[in-house]
Structure 1
């Protein structure tokens, strides 16, 4: 019950205030030093005039066509009648001999240059005038409550509108209660707010009577100095204050929440959180351990089957791409094999395979071990015909391990017997076409270089002639050219050395054979004599299983003894 009475009392107080102060004007405008407002508030003539008086004004006087035009701007689409400031004084009757028919303005005078009466009614009772959207003056009882009323305010000077900005808009607010962005003149006490900067200026009246725009904040006693929160005077200068957790914007008047992200060092995104902030990363990144930097996530390792079988996943900053495998190119949304052989990458033959290619060589050539795309000559005999330049027949090439030689205007590639020089292998050597093989005796093994032999234990070799089948292949450099009409000295000298060595070997074999032949004859003679002596003395020869290197002559001598 108590709450209901409180509600009723509050409604009554609000109704009383509205009767005295009235509602805010619906719209308004200023022409020169005069401003007009329209109020859509149902009141009697006197109550309407009281509302205008609260703002140091009065009901509108329409004394000229200019004022009538201003009224036409304010009520073109309004419905109902609106009071203007024209009234027939009590005790007087209508007088058609004057322009105002005996009516007076609320200012107490009858001067006018304009009238727009609707009818010719005559009366001697107290009457007031209203207008409708047709702008005709209509006489009616002053106690009627019409749709609204028009107020008028007169100033000595007003502020002109600010020049429009190219990238900003201006909203004007007047002390009369109406706002607008297209006002041409503003009464003193008006403010202008620029967007998006939120800078404010104030139409101030100076001591000498001048009016001009003043940058905010201004005197704290006027509209709180334009401050959004609190205005304080400091050394006679107005200053705006903000509540805790907020700070002044650049216009020094409005407040904004303190943004901790302004001082944050987040690499990507900053999100305010209470009195602090939290760093976040864009998609495809994750926050580093320091909580500020962002590191890329390798999507290709995180997910499975991100790409189809014809494509491979390639990580990109913050994402990934599916690209065709090496040797394939995208064509109409599909990965198609690239025929690398069209680019002729091989020196001789090229075979295209899915995603790659293979090189092969013509007969008499093998692939270069250093570059599989290139081919080099190969000879499978001790001699083969050299490959010469058809334009310069003396410019010839031979495979590695062969040397160029000329015979009867024919250039040949002759295999180099590296084993005969004795300088390539440490112990044993076996020559092959274009190369050679190093061996080691038992108890030794080839070293890292493949040409030297290293003992497998601390003792010297056993002295046997058996060999270990450890192979190391070497190739010797090739002499590649001759001069026209001249023989090659180095191969010829080498051939002479080889012939001399062969002759010496043949002589040595002949001498050994001769010595062995003489020894066989001598042994045979000794055996014959010993067998004859054995028959004479009737003694039997005794042999042992132990192998001895003594001669048959010594055995016979021991038997006789």
Structure 2
């Protein structure tokens, strides 16, 4: 937040790789502008060779640093690379701040962006980002081909910074920074130097050496000076070592600062006054060259006094909830989603009820609602479920009708077979058993309903709310059954059924007749044998009376003579 306190005067024109550059250092990084044009991949390589990365603009502080670097240049309407790109195979994402692009430094996605227009939609092309400086000094992001050639800015991160050395008399100082092989002198030096900078101070014939290091969390020179502080010091020689105003008296040289600046702890440098120390802002204070500005958190904006923050009514400004109810809150808002919608990241999104398996068969999702429909051969029993239609109730078959789940089958009586239309019965010789020939009906199949001139069955509830009891159901009567599914003849199935029925009736009858015949034959044979054993001689002869008295012995003799 306070990086600008250290930025002025940080600009320096120098020579790196034979290319004029501009460099600015903030408390944690230095930015170097290169006035030579390269492709994006060449830029990445060159920045890494110098020990840095292509510059990023991830937040307002980095934007302010970049704004200051560009303001020191005379380049107008110029474009330069920043380390933001879209790799080949990744898609642009319009709903995100970075639009699917990633920082090449590997940093997490930032919430800050400053697009001039929406990036080109692509998933197959590598795209990179340049910053365009307009005549009004606006720095807008533009996506472009990575094969183009533009200026570039390298960013060098450091752990901390040390102030410029204080030298009071005739002197010379040379600084060696970690990110360059060039040596900088006091005439074109930075206001602050990154950690690891080596400095050589020459006071006449004497030389002093010091390094910017960290001690107990504080960054300072190993020998802070002041240097060359003797009686020869005066304001006539290099302004007495003062960064702004110099005054000399009998006690020596004294430095002062201009309005809006304050004298640093070294007695020679001047820094911007920190007007934010008095906490004038309602939320956050940012120091600027001309004073300070106040900022507000998300959901708030500066009031007319430019100091306090007032709530932004998002419901009336951006209408984030669409057709749903929006409730403004202090610094934010909430969406009251209607039935059929759910809140996702502060916005109302449609609920896909079809993923919840509410319908027993077909389901059609719609915005804020859904509809159920039945397959061919079924009818709705309520707003959500379907039941089988008993097609046999309408006597579709000429003889026997067998209802099945979602369809039906026809069968014929004995000695007849099913015709090709699957309904009529004909003799096995081919003649029709009845004059009329009903339309051909085949076995229905489970299938999605299609819009036809005469659909079998449609069921299209219209939902005015999510309460199933309020669903309006429209039934279309069953029409031409020839449209149910594919044409599959019932004849083979019916013939098999008739054959089974005939065999089931004949076989028991044959068995019964066979058993009856066996029993009859058996009883006849048994009766014949019995009669032979008990038949007397008189069965074949007649008795004639002789008038004589017969005795048993005579009778026995007669019987014996007969045999």
Q: TM-score, normalised by structure 2?
A: 0.31
Bigger Rg, which one: 1
